[in-house]
Amino acid sequence: PAFIDHVGTFVDMRRHLVEQGTMDNLLQKALMNLGRYGNSFGQSERMRAKWTQPLQPPINDARKAPVEYLWFVGDYASYSPTMADITQKTAQVFRQMDLDFGILYEGERNAGNDVRRIGEEGLFEILVEKNNQALSKCNYQTIITTDPHTYNTLKNEYPWNGNRPTILHTAELLDQMIASGRLKFKRKLDYKVTYHDPCYLGRYNDVYDAPRRVIEATGCELVEMPRHGDRAFCCGAGGGRIWMEEKNVEERPSEARVREAAALEGVRALVVACPKDVTMFRDAVKTTGNEERLVVKDLVDLVHEAL
């Protein structure tokens, strides 16, 4: 209310801690992996597109052929075992819409959003440079991503030198395709869901309506949590927290959020639009004992099911 930018101050303090080498072991390991491999998982860059192997025909390599849409997949959607199914469904939905798209394969690196929030500005600049080198060799019109963290930093923090392409989160793309008639559903889903606004999609970029329109287009009834829209509650992963230890806390933010969703009468699914949300909330559903009560679904899960 007083218009104090506390987040910027926190990041400045974190930069100071990084310069001193003061950080927990998990974060230090994540930063080492990001510097060496370009991803926080410590996986080879050649493994980044392993999730594409079951898909035929192979997904276009945007470095080798012009595409209309360049899909910047992101680390969690590429490497996390829990995300492989959702990432494959995303590709299948894109093909159902007859989308001309491709990916960067091993040319992609972490976009750097959370690296910057941790205070590792030097590493952020290295990642930006490597991604820009890869992107500069591609012929595309629009960048799309399922990851709000990637979306935010590509859209607001990369040096496009006045030539920034259109950058869309998947929710925006799906919303546009539904409105234009290119995405048509064969069945109506008839259950109640609630939706969690990712911080970097909602508060940072004011994308609130598009995901809700997509949810309603699938036939689901949307029931809002008490904290939603620009008053939504963080899942606890942002700003690099997903790479840090949870120490003396009575309740993790993700657990508080899951309990909030589970308390809504008749709601069967917590719908998210961020790979990190999938990771955080699926863990929290287990730790809060809500496995029989609530399932975590990505927005793409609903779209794929309705198709």
Using CA atoms, how far apart are residues 30 and 27, in angstroms rounded to an integer? Answer: 5
Read off the pTM.
Answer: 0.95
The phi and psi torsions of 101 (rounded to 5 degrees) equal: -135, 160
Q: How crowded is residue 113: how many other Cβ atoms within 10 Å of its Cβ?
A: 25
Q: What is the pLDDT of residue 21?
A: 85
Neighbouring-strand partners of residue 145: 169
**What's residue 196's pLDDT?**
97
Torsion of CA 73, 76, 78, 79, to 10 degrees: 160
Contact between 141 and 66 under an 8 Å Cβ cutoff? The reply is: no
Q: How confident is the prediction along the chain (307 residues), in pLDDT tens digits per residue? A: 788 888 889 989 999 998 888 888 899 999 999 999 999 999 999 999 999 999 999 999 999 999 999 999 999 999 999 999 999 999 999 999 999 999 999 999 999 999 999 999 999 999 999 999 999 999 999 999 999 999 999 999 999 988 999 999 999 999 999 999 999 999 999 899 999 999 999 999 999 999 999 999 999 999 999 999 999 999 999 888 889 888 788 899 999 999 999 999 999 999 999 999 999 999 999 999 999 999 999 999 999 999 9
